[in-house]
């Protein structure tokens, strides 16, 4: 077996896990940004109306609230965050199991198990994303793919 520094399968698995981690982190940030923005603009709309702010101000804040709501629905960072976190966790565990096997004992069976997990993770993540997108088009919330 190739040394760990030349193990292309491990390198690919680590690269995939890093990509899922970046996606998870970015999506989690956008999730919180959109959620907090929605709460803030919703509350600001009520306050603006309550204090008798000019109608243009109240309408602008209400429009921002509606825009943020639409943004949340279109980009759905919550779902993206969950999918990426699941994929990252699954790959991280597979990589750890693989790395626990001493390099000299990493036979074809051990390598195949990691390859199967890398491919299954990518396939499951893609199917869940596609099912979610199809559900958005049809107007129904899809069930989770597993």
Distance (Å, whole) CA 51 – CA 118: 57
User: Quick one: pLDDT band at residue 146, thresholds 50, 70, 90?
Assistant: very low
Q: What is the domain extent for residue 16?
A: 4-138
Place of tokens 């199967």: 116
Token pair, residue 42, equals: 């919703």
Q: Within a domain: residue 128?
A: yes
88-to-8, 27, 75, 80, 96 alpha-carbon distances in Å: 19, 13, 20, 12, 12
Q: Within a domain: residue 35?
A: yes
**62-92: pLDDT as tens digits:** 999 999 999 998 888 999 999 999 999 999 9
Task: Name which of 18, 9, 7, 2 is nearest 112 in CA terms.
Answer: 9
What is the tally of structural domains in the chain? 1
Q: Within the chain, what is the greatest distance between any pair of CA atoms?
A: 75
């Amino acid at each position: 077996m190739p040394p760990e520094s030349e193990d292309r399968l491990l390198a690919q698995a680590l690269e995939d896990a890093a990509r899922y981690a970046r996606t998870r982190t970015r999506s989690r940030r956008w999730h919180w940004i959109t959620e907090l923005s929605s709460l803030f603009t919703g509350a600001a709309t009520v306050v603006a109306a309550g204090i008798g702010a000019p109608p243009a101000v109240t309408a602008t804040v209400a429009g921002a609230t509606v825009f943020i709501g639409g943004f949340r629905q279109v980009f759905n960072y919550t779902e993206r965050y969950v999918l990426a976190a699941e994929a990252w966790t699954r790959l991280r565990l597979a990589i750890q199991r693989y790395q626990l096997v001493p390099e000299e004992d990493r036979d074809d069976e051990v390598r195949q198990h990691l390859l199967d997990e890398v491919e299954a993770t990518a396939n499951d993540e893609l199917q869940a994303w596609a099912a979610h997108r199809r559900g958005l088009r049809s107007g129904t919330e899809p069930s989770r793919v597993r």
